[in-house]
Each structure stands twice: as structure tokens, then as C-alpha cells.
């Protein structure tokens, strides 16, 4: 789940084009966002929402969103590290925390209102249960939550805490990648291939059961290994290394790596079948190859071309509010359930209409979650602006900027 002024996206500076002996010097391109990367980030966010709503395992193969998001974040982090590393890390953390605090406050209020006591939690009880609440403020580790709370017959399933807090793993991984980036970039500039492929090798060790690291430490190490090569691919994209490799070679090698990932997955299917989230080595290799192909063909658009242009405002909003969308989407998916259930009590509902609602329930959830996400953007999205030391905006779709340009 990096702007120059916010965690998940950054404007790309574009150099003016040059020509051999032009009659007149070409006008330089205006610096701006790389809209191709913005489009990829938006697609990744939509895929995450759809996956968590419908649970279709094949979506993890169709578009490995997390690998794409980590690669984009890595590219933007590499760009930022042209400045002093400590200041960059501090800035990234500052942009991340206020939106997370708003989300954490909502989750904790609901947990405590439901009767949860961290001190008596069977997994993390006692003093440590209370101490680990710090991870709701700074995601250096896994935040505690009960796996079951409430009644199965209540407004929400009793597993809602795990679903609500689920997105926080991404923030933990992102934070550790940010902290490690100065060292990773230093290593990449000296031994690029070793640094790029080392996380895949680590995944083959810790993600296959060859070496088992227990508890949340093991989960954190596995996440770092699975997506580490994608993060470093972002470095390679920014440094221009991918453009030096012939496309046919990059695509051919990527296809082989992806084929290995599918082959490995076929022999290690989890309870959800082809869900690569349950198969770390398959996830790592498939995401790696997929991201290489996306970045090798990166066209570096200053504007969305053709039919993509109609989505320009939504792409801009989703990039400006990527943290908000990612954090809140699971909780908002769950919020659609009690809202849709109100329809069963409407006076005109009969058995036939109730049956039709049962059949199309997931589609109604899909239709309703997007307005709820929009409401969340309006309600708390402006915190991303405050975290980036900008004037708060309710709906940052770029209209004001385009009007100023005109």
C-alpha cells in the first residue's frame, strides 16, 4: 500500500529536449509529474480495493499492486536522496504519520468501544500489550488487535479488527524501506546486480520455510525480502539503469523470472489457490518481472494521452490521497455491509427483491465503497497536505493548477 511532498508520489523533473543543430532551440518541457507512474499508482490502488472486496485470487497475478507501489516509492526515494539522507527520512516519516494517526485513532476507538483490553490479549497480553500500542503511532512493528471482537450476528463480522488493521503492514514495510534506503542506494551504486537480486535470494530462504523466523519479526523480514527487489528496481529506474538494457533482453529475462514464479506457485498453492499473497517466492518473482516490464516501457508522460485523459482528475486525486485511500479502504468496504442491509427493511422489499439483493450484494458493495472513499478523502485526506506542509485541499484533482496555467 510518495509525492515529493507526500508519501506515495513525487513530481518528476524532466530535462528539456536537445537536437543536433536545430534551427531554433526547442522550448524546454515544464517540470511536472510523470503521469505514467501516476496512472500505475492509481491502477494499483483500484486493484487493491477490488481484491479486498471480491477476494479474487487471480487479481494478484493480473496486476501485482504491492510490488508496483513499492517500486514507484523506491524510485521517488532515490530521487529524494540527492539531498541529505537524514532530512529525507525525517520528511518521509513526517508525511506518513498524521494520516496514520487519524486512522489509528478511529481503529482504537472502535476496538476499545468493543471491549478490547490489550493487557489481557491472549497473543500479546500484559504490559507488552499496552507498550505495543506504540505501533499505532509509529509503525516500526505490528500493531496489536484482537482476531475476534463482537458477535458474528452483529453489524460486522467478528473478524473486523484484523481486516481494519490489515493495511498497516504496508506502512511498516514502507517505513523500514525508507530507513534502509540510504544504505540500499549506496550499495546499489556500487554493486547494482547483487543489491537488486539479494532480496529475491533472501525470499528463497525465509519465504519457503527453509529458514523460519517466528512471529511478527518473521513477517516483517519476509515482507522486506519479497518486495525488496521491487523497491531497488525503483532505484534502477531513477538511475537510468533499466534504459541501458535492451528491451528484448529485459522482457525475455523478466518473462523467465515470472514463469518461474508461476511454476513455483503451481506447486505451493495455499488455501486461496493462486493468491500470490500466500506464496512469498512466487509473489517476489512475479512482481519483480512484472515491474521490470512496466518500467522498461515507461513512456514518461507529462499528460495522460488519448482515452486516458478522461481519467486525469481521478488519477490526480488518487495520487494526492494515496495514503488515505489505502488506509481506509478496508474499513469502508466493511461499512458498506450495514448500509446495504438497511435495504432489507424497506417497505417495498419482498422475497423476490430480497433474493435479487442477495445475488447482487457484492456489486452493491462495489458501487457503494467508492462514494465512501470519496467521503473519507473529504473528511481526513487534507491531513496529507498538512503533513506535507501545504495548504489543505478537500479535493485535490489538479483543477486549480490547470486553471493557473491557463
Residue ranges of domains in the chain: 35-117+154-405
| Closest listed residue to residue 303, CA positions, set 34, 8, 30, 4 | 34
| Closest listed residue to residue 40, CA positions, set 315, 250, 397, 325 | 315
Please check the confidence at residue 20 and state whether its pLDDT lies above 60: no
Instruction: Please state the φ and ψ torsions of residue 57, each to the nearest 5 degrees.
Output: -65, -35
Q: With bands split at pLDDT 50, 70 and 90, how would you rate the model's confidence at 4? A: very low
How far apart CA 72 and CA 295 sit, in angstroms, is 9
pTM of the model as a whole: 0.90
Give residue-wise pLDDT tens across range 23-50: 444 344 455 689 999 999 999 999 999 9
How much is the pLDDT for 157?
82
Give residue-wise pLDDT tens across range 306-342: 999 999 999 999 999 999 999 999 999 999 999 999 9
State the DSSP string of 137-164. TS-SSPPP--S--S-TTSSS-TTHHHHH
The 3-state DSSP class for residue 241 equals: helix
* Assigned C-alpha cell, 276: 500470490
Lowest mean pLDDT among 149-158, 238-247, 397-406: 397-406
How much is the pLDDT for 89?
98
| Other CB atoms within 10 A of residue 204 CB | 17
Please check the confidence at residue 200 and state whether its pLDDT lies above 80: yes
The residue ranking higher by pLDDT, 335 or 122, is: 335
Contact predicate 207/225, CB 8 Å: yes
Give residue-wise pLDDT tens across range 65-88: 999 999 999 999 999 999 999 999
* Assigned C-alpha cell, 57: 485470487
Please check the confidence at residue 63 and state whether its pLDDT lies above 60: yes
How far apart CA 1 and CA 327 sit, in angstroms, is 8
| Closest listed residue to residue 15, CA positions, set 37, 32, 35 | 32
Please check the confidence at residue 279 and state whether its pLDDT lies above 50: yes
Q: With bands split at pLDDT 50, 70 and 90, how would you rate the model's confidence at 127? A: confident
pLDDT, mean of residues 188-193: 98
Amino acid at each position: 500500500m510518495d509525492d515529493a511532498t507526500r508519501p506515495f508520489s513525487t513530481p518528476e523533473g524532466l530535462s528539456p529536449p536537445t537536437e543536433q543543430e536545430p534551427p531554433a532551440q526547442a522550448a524546454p518541457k515544464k517540470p511536472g509529474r510523470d503521469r505514467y507512474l501516476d496512472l500505475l499508482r492509481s491502477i494499483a490502488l483500484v486493484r487493491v480495493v477490488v481484491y479486498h472486496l471480491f477476494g479474487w485470487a487471480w487479481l494478484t497475478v493480473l496486476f501485482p499492486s504491492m510490488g508496483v507501489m513499492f517500486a514507484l516509492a523506491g524510485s521517488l526515494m532515490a530521487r529524494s536522496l540527492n539531498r541529505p539522507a537524514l532530512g529525507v527520512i525525517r520528511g518521509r516519516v513526517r508525511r506518513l504519520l498524521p494520516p496514520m494517526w487519524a486512522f489509528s485513532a478511529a481503529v482504537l476507538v472502535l476496538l476499545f468501544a468493543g471491549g478490547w483490553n490489550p493487557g489481557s490479549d491472549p497473543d500479546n497480553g500484559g504490559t507488552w500489550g499496552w507498550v505495543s500500542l506504540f505501533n499505532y503511532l509509529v509503525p516500526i512493528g505490528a500493531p496489536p488487535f484482537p482476531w475476534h471482537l463482537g458477535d458474528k450476528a452483529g453489524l460486522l463480522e467478528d473478524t473486523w479488527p484484523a481486516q481494519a488493521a490489515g493495511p498497516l503492514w504496508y506502512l511498516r514495510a514502507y517505513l523500514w524501506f525508507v530507513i534502509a534506503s540510504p544504505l540500499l542506494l549506496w550499495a546499489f551504486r556500487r554493486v547494482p546486480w547483487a543489491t537488486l537480486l539479494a532480496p529475491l535470494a533472501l525470499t528463497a530462504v525465509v519465504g519457503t520455510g527453509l529458514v523460519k523466523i517466528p512471529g511478527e519479526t518473521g513477517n516483517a523480514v519476509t515482507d522486506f525480502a519479497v518486495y525488496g527487489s521491487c523497491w531497488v528496481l525503483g532505484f534502477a529506474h531513477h538511475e537510468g539503469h533499466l534504459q541501458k538494457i535492451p528491451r528484448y533482453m529485459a522482457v525475455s529475462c523478466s518473462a523467465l523470472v515470472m514463469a518461474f514464479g508461476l511454476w513455483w506457485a503451481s506447486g505451493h498453492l495455499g488455501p486461496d489457490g493462486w493468491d500470490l499473497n500466500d506464496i512469498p517466492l512466487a509473489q517476489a518473482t512475479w512482481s519483480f518481472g512484472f515491474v521490470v516490464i512496466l518500467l522498461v516501457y515507461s513512456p514518461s508522460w507529462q499528460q495522460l494521452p488519448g482515452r486516458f485523459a478522461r481519467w486525469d482528475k481521478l488519477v490526480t486525486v488518487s495520487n494526492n490521497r494515496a495514503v488515505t485511500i489505502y488506509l481506509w479502504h478496508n474499513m469502508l468496504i466493511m461499512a458498506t455491509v450495514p448500509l446495504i442491509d438497511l435495504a432489507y427493511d424497506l417497505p417495498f422489499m419482498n422475497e423476490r427483491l430480497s433474493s435479487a439483493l442477495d445475488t447482487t450484494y457484492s456489486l452493491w458493495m462495489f458501487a457503494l465503497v467508492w462514494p465512501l472513499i470519496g467521503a473519507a478523502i473529504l473528511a481526513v485526506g487534507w491531513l496529507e497536505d498538512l503533513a506535507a506542509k501545504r495548504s489543505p485541499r478537500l479535493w485535490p484533482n489538479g483543477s486549480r493548477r490547470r486553471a493557473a496555467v491557463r
